[in-house]
Amino acid sequence: EMGITVRDFGESWRDGNAFLGLIDAIRQNVVNRAALRDTSNRHRLETAFNVAEEKLGIARLLDPEDVDVPQPDEKSIMTYVAQFLHKYPEPKSSDNESFATVQQEYDALLGWLNERTRQLEQLDRTHSFPSSYS
């Protein structure tokens, strides 16, 4: 099990593991996260974007070279991640214990995403972006 910490819509997504974790929460075993552990950020990102498009029907809005930078564009990542939450509002799992864990992680991510979306929409309405968003 890979621990994934998501603190923001920028650097937390840079290494590709958060995208892979999101994909795994929706459809388990479609990617071998352990096998990708020692690969480059861009390889993990490329894998995640390809799998999301081919297996989950998520439009590819990002390229690895745009995300694997010191300060990835948070709005772009948020827009991409929102596609997953709109298309797959409920995680799937056949194992009840595993499902409970995935459900908790998913609910936490969904709550965090909704809060950040509200914050960014408020900032967009007021056109007062902190330096980290401009």
- The four Cα atoms 50, 56, 57, 58 give a dihedral, to 10 degrees, of -70
Q: Does domain 11-126 have CATH number 1.10.418.10?
A: yes
Kindly report whether the global pTM for this prediction surpasses the value 0.85.
no
pLDDT at 105: 77
Max alpha carbon distance in the chain (Å)?
46
- Give the pLDDT confidence score for residue 48 in this predicted structure: 97
Half-sphere exposure of 27 (CA within 13 A, CB side): 15
Give pLDDT, residue 134: 47
Low-confidence ranges of the chain (pLDDT < 70): 1-2, 90-100, 128-134
